Amino acid sequence: MSTWVILAALLALALVTGWPRHGLIARWREGRGLAARVRREDALKHLLKAEANHQPATIESVAGAVEIRRASAVGLLADMDRRGLISFEQGDLRLLPAGRELALHVIRTHRLWESHLAENTGISESEWHRQAERAEHRLSREQADALAAALGNPARDPHGDVIPVPGGVLPPEPGQPLSAVPLNTAVRIVHVEDEPQAIYAQLTAQGIRPGMKLCVLDKTPHRLRFWADGQEHVLAPMFANNVSVALLPDYQASDLFEEQYLASLRPGQQARILNLSPACRGAERRRLLDLGFVPGTTIEAEMASPGGDPMAYRVRETTVALRREQARLIRITTARSTAAS
């Protein structure tokens, strides 16, 4: 190999690695800077949520929230102190105005992005949090404002969390943990925590969503059994702790057992649609309404597939096939239940 070829290869390597804006070194530095900013903003989110819920924030809690070691958390907090985002003296962590403003923006952007994914895309619910985690660090305040306007300035995100306004405050998380609810008490889910991701994925797989009405049937140290939207669910206590509920003063537990859903209708039976469950949102809700599943409409179960799922329903002179999980989102009343009432 000639000297000129070697020199050309070395020059090319130097250009690839050392080019001021697009070289490998520049990209490595940019990625490292972005990772550091993400850690700062994640720590600020944790501090603001702890402040809103009147919970103590510690070095250990920050390390857990950002998923770093304690020594790294100390360095992170010291850097945030130097930047004027927090006050970090003798282990006492306090948000300063600049840090509180940035934390509020990140949380607001996250919740707006999840609302966008829920209302305007067909992306799986289990992916909302992961994608919003990325978007919250990328959208500017102007972009977040534009997104809010496009969504009609929603007050809450799909998990039931308040979407704060710029310059506002972050309210405490509502309700009480599902694990603390007495037996046979009618409650409504007001919040489903989306962290950690593994627990949230299990909750969404069971169809646990804000707006569902339920009552706890049985509690042991190992499981919690409850009735919600026409079916029985079982959760481990650690999962139930991520579901917050509020009392339904106008409901008795027996009222919940009397509610009927389309999934219970057998071929040849007719019913009248009362409403769609609050758990039915976004594109799925719009599709069902467009197909004629609106309150007051008469519907008949025509036939089931060989496996029993999906089921074909006759609604407004049209036959529509729905999966059982979709039919469970449509509340109905039958001639039998109407006569009984």
- Which residues lie across from 273 on neighbouring strands? 332
Q: 8: which 2 tokens?
A: 């050309």
Give pLDDT, residue 24: 47
By mean pLDDT, which of 15-19, 151-155, 266-270, 298-302 is the weakest?
Answer: 15-19
Mean pLDDT (whole number) for 44-63: 92
176-257 belongs to which CATH class? mainly beta
Element (H, E) at 243: strand 243-247
| Omega prior to 310 cis, within 30 of 0 | yes
Q: 214: which 2 tokens?
A: 């339920």
- Which residues lie across from 215 on neighbouring strands? 227
- State the number of CA atoms in the 13 A half-sphere of 237 facing the CB: 9
Picking from 289, 279, 269, 284, the residue whose alpha carbon sits closest to that of residue 329 is 279
Distance of alpha carbon 211 from alpha carbon 243, whole angstroms = 11
Say whether 259-340 and 6-95 share the same fold: no
Q: Per CATH, is 259-340 categorized as 2.30.30.90? A: yes
Give pLDDT, residue 130: 87
Mean pLDDT (whole number) for 110-120: 91
Picking from 205, 186, 189, the residue whose alpha carbon sits closest to that of residue 197 is 205
Give pLDDT, residue 30: 47
By mean pLDDT, which of 9-23, 52-66, 136-150 is the weakest?
Answer: 9-23
Give pLDDT, residue 250: 85
Give pLDDT, residue 246: 92
List the Cα angle 111/171/53 in 5-degree steps.
105
* Structural domain boundaries in the chain: 6-95, 176-257, 259-340
**Residue 112 pLDDT greater than 90, yes or no:** yes
Mean pLDDT (whole number) for 183-201: 87
Is the model's pTM score more than 0.85?
no
Give pLDDT, residue 325: 82
Distance of alpha carbon 11 from alpha carbon 330, whole angstroms = 67
Mean pLDDT (whole number) for 274-279: 84
pLDDT in tens, 295-329: 999 999 998 888 778 899 999 888 999 988 888 88
Give pLDDT, residue 6: 65
pLDDT in tens, 242-252: 999 999 988 88
Distance of alpha carbon 182 from alpha carbon 178, whole angstroms = 9
> Starting at the edge strand that comes first in sequence, how are the strands of the sheet with 270-276 ordered?
260-261, 330-333, 270-276, 298-304, 311-315, 318-322
Mean pLDDT (whole number) for 113-127: 86
Residue % of the chain over a pLDDT of 90: 49
Alpha carbon of residue 103 to chain centroid: 18
Q: 119: which 2 tokens?
A: 């209302």
**Residue 152 pLDDT greater than 90, yes or no:** yes
Give pLDDT, residue 126: 78
6-95 belongs to which CATH class? mainly alpha
Picking from 326, 119, 118, 341, the residue whose alpha carbon sits closest to that of residue 229 is 326
Residue tagged 């009248």 (tokens): 272
194-198, 229-233, 335-339, range with greatest mean pLDDT = 229-233
> Starting at the edge strand that comes first in sequence, how are the strands of the sheet with 187-192 ordered?
176-177, 243-247, 187-192, 213-219, 224-228, 231-235
